[in-house]
Structure 1
Amino acid sequence: MRLLLWGLALYHGANGLLMVAAPLGWFRAVPGVAETGAANAHFIADVGWGFLAAATALALAARCAPGRGPLLVAALVFLGGHAAMHVLDFFHHVFSAAVLRDILLVLLPGLLPLLPLLKGQDDA
């Protein structure tokens, strides 16, 4: 589980760092984002800080095997909420490549921190 948590921390941390450091570059680079409306650099950077906070919690959870549950919950507040919003968006769109993209890039990485929490593996 530690390897999974480290991988998720790196994934979300890199995304957040890019959002904070180059919000308009992130907007242009991520497939499908431009289809959601006009870019707002301040808002993109704000969301990037959420990804960095979640990545920090995941990295700390990877380091601290016993008692990692609260750290996972903290990460899931943002990541799970973000994933849930994308699921709700699915109901407004026909099944398309965008849905598959969101499943792979948003839902899976956003909900994978549930695995160690649900398995009760505070010590692994």
Structure 2
Amino acid sequence: MRNILFLVAIYQAANGLFMLAFPDLWYQSVPDVTHTGPLNTHFVRDIGFGFLAAALSLALAARNGGAAAAIWPGAVFLGGHAMLHLAEMMLHGIAPFAGARDIATIVVPGLAPLAIALLARKNRLREART
């Protein structure tokens, strides 16, 4: 679990840094983002800080063996982002390749920390009862 959290943290930190450093290039490089409306550099950078904050929380949780207090902020942000994408895919439809790409690059890395956090919570509750 720790390795998964570290990998997701690195992936999300890279995305956040890309958004902060090169918002125009990020906007042009990420598939289908241009269909969401015109570029708002300030907004892209704001979201970049969100991805960095999520990455930091996951890295801290991984370093501390999945510490619940550290994992939840990142899990909520990334899980919410993933669920929003899933909802939009279901509501508006998506081409098969684009759907597979979004599942691999947004949904799985976004829901993995949430699944780990929920599993850790379940294990802690089970241990507390014994």
User: Taking structure 1 as the reference length, what is the TM-score of the superposition?
Assistant: 0.89
Amino acid at match of 1:71: A
Residue 107 (structure 1) shift: 0.6
How many residue pairs get aligned? The number is: 121
Residue 74 (structure 1) shift: 1.0
Cα-Cα RMSD: 1.6
1:19-62 Cα shifts (integer Å, max 9, x gaps): 01110110111111112221111100000000000000001011
Amino acid at match of 1:116: I
Residue number in structure 2 paired with 1:22 = 22
Residue number in structure 2 paired with 1:49 = 49
Residue 119 (structure 1) shift: 2.6
C-alpha separation between the residues in 1 aligned to 2:101 and 2:42? 25
C-alpha separation between the residues in 1 aligned to 2:98 and 2:91? 12
What secondary structure is seen at the aligned counterpart in 2 of 1:113?
helix
What secondary structure is seen at the aligned counterpart in 2 of 1:65?
coil
C-alpha separation between the residues in 2 aligned to 1:117 and 1:92? 28
Residue 83 (structure 1) shift: 1.0
Residue number in structure 2 paired with 1:61 = 61
C-alpha separation between the residues in 2 aligned to 1:46 and 1:118? 27
C-alpha separation between the residues in 1 aligned to 2:114 and 2:99? 21
Q: How does 1:79-90 map to 2 (within 5 A)?
A: 79-90=78-89
C-alpha separation between the residues in 1 aligned to 2:43 and 2:118? 32
Residue number in structure 1 paired with 2:107 = 107
Aligned 8 A contact 2:8 2:55 in 1:
yes
Identical pairs, percent: 45
Structure 1, unpaired ranges of 5+ = none
My pick for the range that moved more, 19-28 or 90-99, is 90-99
What secondary structure is seen at the aligned counterpart in 1 of 2:44?
helix
* Higher share in helix: 2
Residue number in structure 2 paired with 1:77 = 76
